[in-house]
Structure 1
């Protein structure tokens, strides 16, 4: 093993130049060059010390084989955040921005043993009942609606105007949300993802989910929410809320990022015209820029030596799906590995249960846009695009595009919601952009009925 004096220098802009301590994953430097950070972190061994936000430290697994070992050994590496030592000792502030992503919730992501099995069975059985033909039709309808909002302009931000909204609207249908609840869910989830008025967004989200659960208790329907309630696991209202947070929140954010990153790849100058299939482009994204880059928080049940890296009991251990996928040790064998050997969906008992609908939504959303606007191209050089800071995701800030405007008659009888942008397609920063987007679900329902 190398000594610390033999390590490569930290990447440019990394505060580790000055501190020599845990490497921060929360600044713009990491968002701009994550691979440079991963290359540096690999020299600590399979696990490296990182800082997720000021004052919150963890170990990050960057080695593919080590990541699989952790993911596939739940008896040694538990998921229940009530084991988090620093949190139990009061060293994590209540307002820490990473706490909502790491705190214990009674759902499969944060449970172990019999509790995990019971909750996961309810989730997987409910997702298995999704009709893929119905899902495909709804993605097509939502795609048409969103494109209809900007196709006459000849330009759009494919993140804010398309990729962020499409999964949310599709999930509203899957979970049986009426317009008045669906609008508030869109506002709540969007506000939490973007950090825009997050406290208010979280309050609205919680109230909306309680209302949805109460509605489905009284009036069950042909939707995932009702199927969860009907499962033999007998979920109570609190458990229902946390299953919905997991399925809707964790289902929409990765799908948004897959769609936008795939469009970025396909619309880049070096990829245009080479005949790359949408499925191959998505697979490229899942290998080289997974939408959730670092997550799957584990807590060693006891002190562990992981190939020379010490992992202390109760300290968070995260899997870097991005770093594991790009592990130099895989370079010789990656060509012979299955296309699905990447870790973007996790592995082991906690592997993502919703990958099939997420992939279907992503493929159909990208195809819908490219088929509807065949001459669409990036509005700026690909190299000038920027990424949202944060330790967990790999998400574009924006994806400007341009295309030949589509001249068509508006459906004047349908109330069209504002996108929160002005005529020049510049974000309106002095208005609550996501609140304005909160009427997209009712707007879509009105548009479709015309």
Structure 2
């Protein structure tokens, strides 16, 4: 199988520029790329050294960074490579499938200057105050409940029955979001991520989180939403709804993919399965391997050059997306190592001011979720009829399902 770069016939190139690299573009949205991205990255390296012309959706050009050193340079250059997409999105059709994911929001990753500092400080302070003992207990309680719902069946789809409901439940608990609002959030996010009626999903999500914000202003509690409202940044209701959208978006898709991709490694790779269950390798080792080889968000950390800029031998046009391929950069032959144990040099958590503000809680949740599952069902095996299938999309690295089988067992008592 080979992915062939192309230019969509009749497509309008958004923000095209005389500096735009000529030639065909690699489409990141097609199933062939999702099925075997490393083969595509190898071809990209043969044809382009560090930066590659790609399409994020039909008619939406971008540059994909596949060299680790170039990615580090760009991520550390906030003056020339800001994350604010507003100029870019002026030329993007309202029904563009990637627009709801990429459009401007008042959140740190899409802001600059004093706005960036306000939003970043509010998130860092608020997330640093999360009680990790409470968080571990919350993950354990939800894990036991979910495992109990399928452990007697002997089979399960861990994506549908475990990772998604677990991470969504944890996120709701962190934000103090009640179930009825949480369901509307889930429905809105599903519509956005799948690109089906994405604009309606976006509105549904914003409406639900505006309601959550209003309820916490009226009756604050010990949760992330209330602490964000109480932060000296003095976020207004509009900013709060988008902060919460950003937290949901940065939690659910990446975290469920991280857990699923690590489980795929543990259950499907002989180097890990027995070693993790036997204690010679830790779940943390498996998580780091997955973060290197199958990062949950394979291509992200998007920036928009303020003006045409020459990087190496490539002119990048102003305001056109520059996307960091975390998956390609992590596997750059210049830095690649066969043993990832204890090595956290990957870009899966971002870098510097663009780093994830919740790395410690994210590791804790993923590790606890996996340990609870393996402790409860130690004889679990993968049960793919024809091997793993990956969801198409330019950004995520996400399985369509994670079917397993195991000897039926009675539910655990929490």
Q: CA RMSD in A?
A: 2.2
Farther-moved stretch of structure 1 (182-191 vs 130-139): 182-191
Kept after mapping to 2: 8 A contact 1:46/1:306: no
Match of 1:358 among 359, 362, 378: 362
Gaps of 5+ in 2: 10-22
> Match of 1:404, SS?
coil
Q: Give the Å deviation of 1:338.
A: 6.2
Q: CA–CA distance in 2 between the matches of 1:277 and 1:336?
A: 12
Please give the per-residue CA displacement for 1:374-417, whole angstroms capped at 9, x wherever unaligned.
11111126x711100000010011111011112359x9xxxxxx
Secondary structure of the corresponding residue to residue 334 of structure 2 = helix
- Written as runs of structure 1 = structure 2, the 5 A alignment for 1:212-291 is 212-268=212-268, 270=270, 271-275=272-276, 276-291=281-296
What secondary structure does 1:58 align onto?
strand
Aligned to 1:302: 307
- Give me the whole-angstrom Cα distance separating, in 2, the residues matched to 1:107 and 1:373: 40
Partner of 1:68: 72
C-alpha spacing 1:392/1:226, structure 2 compared with 1 (3 Å): same
Query: 1:369 and 1:291 mapped to 2: Cα distance?
Result: 20
Q: Quickly say closer, same or farther: Cα 1:347–1:215, change in 2 above 3 A.
A: same
Question: In the alignment, what sits opposite 2:113?
Answer: 113
Residue of structure 1 aligned with 2:52, choices 48, 55, 62: 48
Equivalence for 2:14? none
Which residue of 2 is the match for residue 348 of structure 1? 352
Q: Does 1:12 align with 2:7?
A: no
Map 1:394-409 onto structure 2 (within 5 A): 394-408=397-411
Give the C-alpha shift of residue 106 in structure 1.
0.7
| TM-score in terms of structure 1 length | 0.83
Q: Where does residue 38 of structure 2 map in the other structure? A: 35
1:313 aligns with 2:297: no
SS in 2 for 1:97: coil
Per the TM alignment, residue 102 of structure 1 is displaced from its structure 2 partner at its CA by: 1.1
The question of whether the paired residues in 2 share the 8 Å contact of 1:345 and 1:355 is answered with: yes
Query: Is the Cα–Cα contact under 8 Å of residues 152 and 407 in structure 1 kept in the other structure?
Result: yes
Q: Which moved more, 1:16-25 or 1:41-50?
A: 16-25
1:374 is paired with a residue whose SS is coil
**Contact 1:45 / 1:309 at 8 angstroms: preserved in 2?**
no
Q: How far is the alpha carbon of 1:116 from its aligned partner? A: 0.4
Q: Secondary structure at the match of 2:274?
A: coil
Report the Cα distance in structure 1 between the residues aligned to 2:145 and 2:200, rounded to whole angstroms.
28
Partner Cα distance (1:24, 1:336) in 2: 30
Q: TM-score, normalised by structure 2?
A: 0.90
1:40-60: per-residue Cα shift (whole Å, max 9, x none)? Answer: 222312111000110100000
Offset, 1:15: 4.6
What is the aligned length? Answer: 395
Distance 1:188 1:232, change over 3 A: same
CA drift at 1:184: 2.3
Give structure 1 stretches of 5+ with no counterpart. 1-10, 412-447
